């Protein structure tokens, strides 16, 4: 469980830009309250993600194009039921400036359908994102080797690896390709090694709330942790990470 921000730390947030690069605002009972609380708590930007037709449409609805932006797509778990939604994504992206990427998409060998179907749906969406010149947000669980192989096969240029599951060697390889490695609000020795192995310019932070984090404000502790590991001031760390994500999504 993440530590709560102390009163002295809260004062550091004044004037800082914090970002939650991946959450699911549509899953909260009152997303507008979450948005307001996040803004008051120091967040300037939130990216909310879809993963099915229903959640993608909900992500578009909750996004405002000012503080909250959406990525839409079909995740592995919904590959068998919602593949036809891929045909609608291009039109939705072109009609909504608040949609800034395709995601979350990828492979999940723990809960998803059979692998060949997942790969087909993943690859179709990779090519779609490339044609639209927008980033992909990658989901990978128990499948990181295949995911890396596919993004390299398709020469993906813009990607954020959501809730990164790989080790520091994989992280460095992906960073070398220009991708962002997203750190969730759960500390571990492996994740510590990943952070230490990466340049700050290749790091993103996320909460995956309410699935993992309680709210987008949980990025505060993650930024604190990264700043401690990197020996950088909190405000410098938060500013660089926010810049990384905004650059990727052209915000």
- Please provide the DSSP assignment of 110-148 as one string: TTSS-HHHHHHHHHHHHHHHHHHT--EEEEEES-HHHHH
Residue 211 in domain: yes
Q: Is the dihedral of CA 18, 211, 26, 30 positive or negative?
A: negative
pLDDT in tens, the chain (251 residues): 333 333 334 434 545 689 999 999 999 999 999 999 999 999 999 999 999 999 999 999 999 999 999 999 999 999 999 999 999 999 999 999 999 999 999 999 998 799 999 999 999 999 999 999 999 999 999 999 999 999 999 999 999 999 999 999 999 999 999 999 999 999 999 999 999 999 999 999 999 999 999 999 999 999 999 999 999 999 999 999 999 999 999 99
43: CATH? 3.20.20.140
- State how many domains the chain has: 1
Residue 196 in domain: yes
Residue 3 in domain: no
Residue 12 in domain: no
Residue 233 in domain: yes
């Amino acid at each position: 469980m993440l530590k709560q921000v102390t009163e002295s730390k809260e004062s550091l947030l004044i004037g800082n830009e914090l970002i939650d690069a991946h959450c699911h605002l549509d899953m909260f009972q009152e997303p507008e309250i979450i948005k307001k609380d996040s803004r008051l708590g120091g967040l300037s930007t939130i990216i909310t993600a879809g993963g099915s037709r229903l959640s993608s449409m909900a992500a578009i609805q909750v996004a405002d194009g000012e503080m909250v932006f959406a990525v839409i797509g079909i995740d592995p778990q919904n590959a068998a039921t919602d593949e036809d939604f891929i045909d609608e994504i291009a039109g939705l992206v072109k009609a909504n400036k608040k949609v800034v990427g395709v995601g979350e998409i990828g492979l999940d060998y723990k809960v998803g359908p059979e692998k060949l179907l997942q790969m087909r749906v993943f690859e179709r969406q990779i090519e779609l994102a490339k044609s639209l010149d927008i980033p992909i947000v990658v989901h990978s669980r128990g499948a990181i080797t295949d995911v890396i192989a596919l993004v390299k096969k398709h020469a993906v240029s813009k990607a954020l690896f959501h809730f990164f599951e790989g080790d520091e060697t994989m992280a460095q390889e992906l960073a070398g390709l220009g991708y962002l490695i997203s750190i969730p609000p759960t500390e571990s020795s492996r994740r510590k090694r990943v952070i230490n192995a990466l340049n700050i310019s290749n790091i993103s932070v996320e909460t995956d709330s309410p699935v993992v984090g309680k709210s987008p404000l949980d990025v505060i502790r993650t930024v604190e942790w990264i700043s401690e590991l990197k020996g950088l001031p909190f405000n410098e760390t938060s500013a660089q990470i926010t810049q990384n994500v905004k650059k990727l999504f052209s915000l």
